[in-house]
Structure 1
């Protein structure tokens, strides 16, 4: 049985893994929208974010239907989205004033 990842909102760029996954393993994307499969590009622990579509460098990343960060490099579909390839903008947005 494949590992699942939950897509919170249909417009989100990432889904949250419900279990660990290894590179090359199929992940079943559930939640909003049509259930589909994506191949993981990296080993990832449970609770981490998987790109459900390609994300361009400097593109804002959506989760919960809101911007949670910006990609610091191109992230392919099935890629691990984490601190190594994105930086958070939400805290910076709220701390400016």
Structure 2
């Protein structure tokens, strides 16, 4: 078990006790139900291997912790079990880049 209270799906990795995100240790399909600290959560989106998932609900502008260190902040309210990525997470240290339709890197800020 890798949680403070209750069972957490073994395919989710908690890197440090204070982290508010979990890491997917496998590809998790949209619509799949899993447990996070004893609460059943149905995934709205497919979450790829190595991607972050909200360990608990996060309020807009709340800092995201990974390995116990701040890696950025959420740009909107995020539900427990939601995918944390460039669509709702912004680095506080480095610009975030995404691919646009023309396959060019575009700053996400």
> TM-score, normalized by length of structure 2?
0.68
Please name the residue that 1:15 is paired with: 22
Task: Give the helix-richer structure, 1 or 2.
Answer: 1
Dislocated runs of 4+, deviation >4 Å: 35-38
Please name the residue that 2:52 is paired with: 49
Residues in 1 aligned to 2:38 and 2:16: alpha-carbon distance in whole angstroms = 14
- Give the gaps of 5 or more residues in structure 2: 1-8, 96-109
Deviation, structure 1 residue 36: 4.6
Q: RMSD of the TM alignment (CA)?
A: 2.1
Please name the residue that 1:83 is paired with: 86
- Give the gaps of 5 or more residues in structure 1: 30-34, 93-97
Deviation, structure 1 residue 28: 5.4
Contact 1:5 1:16 in 2 (8 A): yes
Match 1:65 to one of 60, 68, 84? 68
Match 2:13 to one of 1, 6, 11? 6
Choose between structure 1 and 2 for higher RCO, CA contacts under 8 A separated by at least 6 residues.
1
Deviation, structure 1 residue 88: 0.6
Deviation, structure 1 residue 43: 1.2
How many positions carry a matched residue from both structures? 86
